Amino acid sequence: MESWVEEEPGLGFSVAVEPEWEFVEVLEALALKLAEWVEQHLSKVASALPEILYCEH
């Protein structure tokens, strides 16, 4: 399948449209990066929870 360019009416620019399988690969890569980011940040929050929950005020 070949790439093609679609003109977006009224926007004044063209958008490159790639074959579906390439788009899916990009989405998979983004999903993996997002999962890594979430896991990293959730582990930071989880490790701080005991301190946050049991802090005496």
DSSP state of 25: H
Could you report the per-residue pLDDT of 14-35, keeping only the tens digit for each?
555 566 667 777 777 778 888 8
Kindly state the average pLDDT of the residues 10-15. 58
Whole-number mean pLDDT of the chain? 71
Domain ranges of the chain: 4-53
Q: Are 14 and 5 in contact (CB under 8 A)?
A: yes
Separation of first and last alpha carbons in the chain: 63
pLDDT at 3 over 60: no
d(CA 4, CA 16): 6
